[in-house]
Amino acid sequence: MLNMEAPRPTEGFFARELGALLAPDRIRVGAAAARAYECDAYTVDRAEPWAIALPESTEEVAVLVRWCVRHGVPFTPRGAGTGLSGGAMAARGGIIVSTKRMTQILEVDLPNRRILAQAGIANKRLSDAVAAAGLHFAPDPSSQTVSTLGGNIAENSGGPHTLKYGVTAQHILGLTLVDPTGEVVHLGGDATGGPGLDFVGLVVGAEGTLGIVTEAWVKLTPLPEAVHTLLASFAEIDQATASVAEIVGSGILPAALEMMDEGIMRAVSQAFRLSYPEGARALLLIECDGAPEASAKEAAEAERICRAHRALAVEIAEDEAARQRLWIARKKGIGAMGRLAPSIVTHDGVIPRSKLPEMLRFVYEVAEQHRLLVANIFHAGDGNLHPCFGFDDRDPEQIRQVVEAGEKILRKCVELGGSLSGEHGVGVEKSELMSLMFSPDDLCLQADAKRIFNEGDLCNPCKVFPSQKGCIEHRARWRGVAW
């Protein structure tokens, strides 16, 4: 048994042992590999793994996990590494278990509208595989061209269209999990709504702390017959939020209802030379889909509501190319921030929709106090706000400012009656803030639930729950590491 406080084993040890266990080409060690895997898309916290394993099957994952348990080595699952809360960071070192060599579609079952795939496949490839049959995998995080099925399951990912179609949890029928002891477990079934306790529901959104999902049966959803997309611009944020409230209140269920602020417009117009009406301070992207007549009627009603709230302009997409253009600000807004700052961090909080104007004012104040560039994207339909800060990650002082500003914003979300996380997960970023939302009893109950799967503390340690054994001292090492 390796002691956590003992010096870490040599690279040669991992390469030799794990290479013999699986195959030499499945194991990577060395300075370059450790560095490349030290963080995901959340770059504020970084910790190098000791080795990286790239298993090709459920059985290989199980063999690896059993080896880790035997040797007391922590292990952390990782998909594409697009997570935004540090969920794929090797917080206590140990081994990164990458699913990126498990990317096969294993079975397509069109009559029953479902598909079985390995965890490492990119989300979008599932939809591409069945597009010809008029079906798709509905969860659509912005990262869907790259983020993996396993990662989406871990984070219970959302996306613009989850307002109507639901988050990942609603689309997972069953899964294969290598539990933290290395046992292969099949959960759920072939159909929705099995009897008994919902273990699939527990695993989806557990951020990889209950084991490593290696395969899943996912539900396929028919593609909508018609799609209507509008982009409305407003001079005041309050006008946009009032429009959102009325649209939702009128009984329309848009497929997507997204708001973008001035910061996003500025980044996008610099990056793509797009222009928005002068004086616009908020954009509202509305998409209605479904049967042609019904969706057209919904879109017309949404347009009427926006105009009634004095929209500066309402642009309506006439064809697919125009639709893509209207989506640019939403899809590429955060990326465009990268053109303005060396590094960004995208926060994720939930607030009651009615509190948005107040919340945005607070975000701008905080950004000014901490001298940070800021832009906001808001899933207005479900109250999920993404403030995005730009900063220079080579400057330790700026990193400190970013961490502080982020904490202030999350505290405010909870204060306003919202939540710490909508869809990015808690990861290492927010674990210490969990006590803002949950009482010690609540947290104990969650820890008990976790114990059903996980007797040890090796599986994705230091994630989600605050003040875990052996994590406090490590936290000081990886929190806010500058270049």
Partner 1 sequence: MNAELSELASHCIRCGFCLESCPTFLVTGEETESPRGRIYLARGSLEGRLDWRQAAPHLDACLGCRGCETACPSGVQYGQIVELAREEIAARRAAPGLRLLLGMLTRPGVLRRLGALGRRLPGARMPRILGLLFSNEPPVAGLPVAQWSGMLPPLDETLLMPITGQAFILDGCAMGSLFPRVQEASARLLRRVGLAPKRLASGCCGALHAHSGYVAQGAAMARRVLARLPENDVLVATAAGCGSWLKEQAHGKRRVLDLSELLHENGLGEALKKAPGYWAVATYHDACHLAHAQGIRSQPRELITAIPGLTLLPMPESDLCCGSGGISNLTHPSQAVALQTRKLENAQATGASLLIQGNPGCHLWLAPAAKARGLTVLHTAEALEAAFIGLEWFCDGAKQTAEAERT
Using the rule CB under 8 A, which residue among 10, 20, 24, 30 binds partner 1? 30
- Phi, psi at 27, each rounded to 5°: -120, 135
Distance CA(260)–CA(331), nearest Å, equals 11
Q: How far is the CB of 344 from partner 1 (least distance, A)?
A: 5
Task: Report 122-141 residues binding partner 1 (CB under 8 A).
Answer: 122, 124-125, 128
Q: Which of 152, 209, 343, 384 binds partner 1 (CB under 8 A)?
A: 343
Among 29, 54, 135, 409, binds partner 1 (CB under 8 A): 54
| Structure-block tokens of residue 201 | 């529901």
Return the number of the residue (319 or 448) whose C-beta is nearest partner 1.
319
Shortest Cβ 101–partner 1 spacing (Å): 4
Q: Does 377 bind partner 1 (CB under 8 A)?
A: no
- Can residue 113 be called a binding residue for partner 1 (CB under 8 A)? no
**Residue placing its CB nearer to partner 1 in the complex, 1 or 31:** 31
| Stretch of residues binding partner 1 (CB under 8 A), selected from 193-201, 283-291, 330-338, 468-476 | 330-338
Nearest CA-CA partner of 283 in 229, 232, 358, 355: 232
> Closer CB to partner 1, residue 89 or residue 242?
89
Q: Which stretch binds partner 1 (CB under 8 A): 77-85, 245-253, 350-358, 397-405?
A: 77-85
Closest by Cα among 50, 47, 46 to 30: 50
Which residue lies nearer to partner 1 by CB, 203 or 336? Answer: 336
- Kindly give, in sequence order, each residue whose CB lies less than 8 Å from that of residue 146, ignoring residues fewer than 6 positions away: 80, 82, 122, 124
Among 73, 299, 336, 363, binds partner 1 (CB under 8 A): 336
Query: Torsion over CA of 305, 309, 311 and 315, rounded to 10 degrees?
Result: 0
Strand partners, 377: 260, 386
Stretch that binds partner 1, among 4-12, 153-161, 335-343, 462-470 (CB under 8 A): 335-343
Among residues 77, 120, 150, 383, the one that binds partner 1 under rule CB under 8 A: 120
Largest CA distance in the chain: 69
Out of 22, 43, 50, 410, the residue judged to bind partner 1 by CB under 8 A: 43
477 binds partner 1 (CB under 8 A): no
Q: Is 297 in the site for partner 1 (CB under 8 A)?
A: no
Determine the interface stretch with partner 1 among 119-127, 163-171, 441-449, 465-473 (rule: CB under 8 A). 119-127
**Interior angle at CA 217, CA 215 and CA 221, nearest 5:** 140
Minimum CB distance to partner 1, residue 84 (Å): 9
Q: How far apart are CA 48 and CA 112, in angstroms?
A: 43
Tell which residue, 39, 32, 146, has the closest CA to residue 85.
Answer: 39
Residues 15, 105, 108, 146: which binds partner 1 (CB under 8 A)? Answer: 146
Nearer to partner 1, 342 or 352 (CB): 342
Q: Is residue 292 near partner 1 by the rule CB under 8 A?
A: no
**Min CB(49)–partner 1 separation in Å:** 11
Residues between 249 and 288 that touch partner 1 (CB under 8 A): 271
Residue 159 lies near partner 1 (rule: CB under 8 A)? no
Work out how close the CB of 125 gets to partner 1 at its nearest, in angstroms, rounded to a whole number.
8
Q: Which of 479, 346, 343, 333 is nearest to 424 (CA)?
A: 346
Q: Single out the residue of 185, 113, 186, 125 nearest to residue 152, CA to CA.
A: 125
Question: Which are the contacts of 356, defined by CB distance < 8 A and separation ≥ 6?
Answer: 237, 241, 259, 378, 380, 383, 385
Q: Does 106 bind partner 1 (CB under 8 A)?
A: no
Span interacting with partner 1, options 74-82, 203-211, 306-314, 420-428, rule CB under 8 A? 74-82
Binding-site size, partner 1 (CB under 8 A): 45
Start-to-end C-alpha separation, the chain = 33
Q: What is the contact surface with partner 1 in residues (CB under 8 A)?
A: 28, 30-33, 35-37, 39-41, 43, 52, 54, 80-82, 98, 100-101, 103, 120, 122, 124-125, 128, 143, 145-147, 271, 331-332, 334-339, 342-344, 392, 394, 483
